[in-house]
Chain A
Amino acid sequence: MTTRKEQHAITAIEDDSLFTFAHYDPEAAERTGYSDYSYWGSTIRIFLKNKTAVFLLILMASLVLFTIIQPYLPNQKDPNKIHIDPETGYQLRNHSPDGEFWFGTNVIGQDLWARIWSGTRTSLLIAILVGIWEVVFGIFIGAVWGYVRQLDALITEIYNVINNIPNTILLMLLAYIMRPSFKTMVIAMCLTGWLGMARFVRNQIVIIRDREYNLASRCLGTPTHRIIIKNVLPYLVSVIVMRIALSIPGTIGWEVFLTYIGLGLPLETPSLGNLLNEGRRVMMSSSLRYQLLFPAAVLSVITVSFYVLGNAFADAADPRNHY
């Protein structure tokens, strides 16, 4: 037989209000030393505070989306179609920008608007393929280089040899030997692009490798690849993302350079590099200069945006800037 008092206590416990979730109170949490710090939460929060970066992110996202859907929009022209002037029956050469040809036509009468977006597509595709390869291969080599002691000396020597040759020269030689095409350009850049990433990952891994928790992991018999993937690489994610962002302007720059020295893509494959090169040929007459200015403007906006985005992300991802 329960007393009245006890019965009262039981009803109080059954009261629903006692079983709701407690809200997080930062002050109360501080007293017990708990923190709701989340690495990605802070990174994203700080990134979003950077108004320029957010603007550029939106700009780039819409630009990438636009280059993908542009050919399917109504009234778009084929980038390789040579337009004929209906009055004279000749090719519509160097037609200044107007309502029909938004960016004008080039020296043989192709629509520059279509060529620029097609070229942006090609250049971004090259940049992204090379960027992905740089990450996959660079991280793999870097991880092995940093973690497997027996291979350290060997890979260091290989790295020294390749790194000692100016990148420009190496890239030129490879492109020269393999004859220009989309495939060979990607291959040539992939062959040289992973070096920086591998070296960076290696240095980081050497620093992180012998921390106590990794030592403990190794003592418990965790296999090497698991330690690398679970314990070491998460540390590097932020910087890796940054390097992908920075490798895009880099790759586009190499493409422009290779095109300039005559090792670029054939003209049927428009790219920002060969559009610029075409524009350069006519740049001396100021009425045709639009053929250089439009591709240069698109290219500059893309490269500067990715560069700034990469740096802004790196700043946001640096835990020293978190609070």
Chain B
Amino acid sequence: MLKYSIRRILQSLVTVFIVITVVFLLMRLLPVEGYFTERVDKLTPEQQEAILRKFGLLDPWYIQLKNFYASLLKGDLGNSIIYRPNVPVVDVLRPKIPYSFGFGIASLVLSLVVGLAMGVHMAKEKGRFWDKVWTSFVVFINAVPAAVYLLFIQLYLTHITKLPILFSKDSFVSCILPTISMSLGGAAGYAMWMRRYMVDELNKDYIKLARAKGMPNKDIMVRHVMRNAFVPMAQYLPSSVLFTISGSIYIESLYSIPGMGGLLVDVIQRQDNTLVQALVLIYSVLGIFGLFLGDILMAVFDPRIRLEKEGGAR
């Protein structure tokens, strides 16, 4: 277990390193206009050069990369260019992080609870009315782009429930819809897989044996079916972290939550290169961390998973 964790940590660190390097180099491919606060044609060539030199953009790429890593280690992600000129990126982000994390974690928990409950209910009612209702719900959420149904939730549910249409800091009720919206995708995924694994489990022989022994249906469900179905579910935790990340980008901007996701949409539209770069890095690292956590969790949950590399029949 320890050996596996260490290997997995090292692997994640290598991935982080590669991702940072690739993102940085890709950002260097962008036209330099994004670095000027004023219109390009208003600047003389000398001024343009001075600005580019200030950002170190005239150096060869490997020196830029080296400088970037050096400042990254000091916790310096550069200064914002257009969004809030010359304010360090770290200061721009600091007040936004709690919002993103709050909403992210709340919706992760909600999607897990709702999704699993829904999946169990579906498996129990297999082939009957509620199973069909929830299945159509899952199909709808999976098929229709989130950008569409989330918009309609905002448009009509706020109207029906009289909940506020935009987020505001002091009102708790304004958090309800964004959190629910953010958890829908994850919940649908959990429900679908939970149902599938439980149905698979129900068809196995040992369940028939338990029935034959006269074990009450409820006990079979809780002690055998659910317990065994939980294990493969662990592998969907990491991908739901990724889900939440992509959901948050859209939802934060939809409900004007002052978090990092909304900011990312904003700075992409305004082409603030250093902020885009910083946010892309943060989200990638979060994604890597999420997948790492999921792998470890899965190993903890299922003792049957062999952790060491194996040759097998291949």
Contact = CB atoms under 8 A, between A and B. Distances in A.
Interface stretch (B21-29, B49-57, B68-76, B107-115): B21-29
Given A253-B147, A257-B246, A303-B144, 17 more contacts: A164-B287, A165-B288, A166-B246, A166-B284, A168-B246, A169-B283, A169-B284, A172-B264, A176-B268, A210-B314, A257-B147, A261-B264, A276-B147, A292-B151, A296-B152, A307-B142, A308-B143
Given A166-B283, A172-B280, A296-B152, A262 B314 contact: no
Interface in B251-281: 253, 264-265, 268-269, 276, 280
A296 B145 CA distance: 10
Interface residues of B, number: 42
A252 B145 contact: yes
B202 interface: no
B268 A166 contact: no
Given A166-B246, A262-B268, A283 B155 contact: yes
Given A177-B30, A261-B268, A296-B152, A166 B287 contact: yes
Contacts of B249: 168, 261
27 contacts: A163-B291, A164-B15, A164-B19, A164-B284, A166-B246, A169-B280, A172-B264, A172-B280, A176-B268, A252-B145, A253-B146, A257-B147, A260-B250, A260-B253, A261-B250, A261-B253, A262-B268, A276-B151, A280-B151, A296-B148, A296-B151, A296-B152, A299-B145, A303-B143, A304-B139, A308-B139, A308-B143
A145 interface: no
A160 interface: yes
B145 A256 contact: yes
A258 to B, nearest CB: 9
A253 B268 CA distance: 19
B242 interface: yes
Interface of B: 11-12, 15, 18-19, 23, 26-27, 29-30, 139-140, 142-148, 151-152, 155, 242, 245-246, 249-250, 253, 264-265, 268-269, 276, 280, 283-284, 286-288, 291, 313-314
Contact of B148 (A161, A165, A169, A299): A299
A304 B245 contact: no
Nearest to B242: A166
Given A167-B242, A256-B148, A249 B143 contact: yes
Contact residues of B: prevailing secondary structure: helix
A209 interface: yes
Nearest to B147: A256
A292 B150 CA distance: 13
Contact of A262 (B142, B245, B265): B265
Contact residues of A: prevailing secondary structure: helix
Nearest to A163: B291
A96 B157 CA distance: 25
B148 A160 contact: no
Interface residues of A, number: 40
Nearest to A206: B314
Q: Which of A167, A177, A210 has the largest number of chain B CB atoms within 10 A?
A: A177
A173 interface: yes
A300 interface: yes
Given A173-B23, A261-B265, A261-B268, A253 B145 contact: yes
A256 B19 CA distance: 26
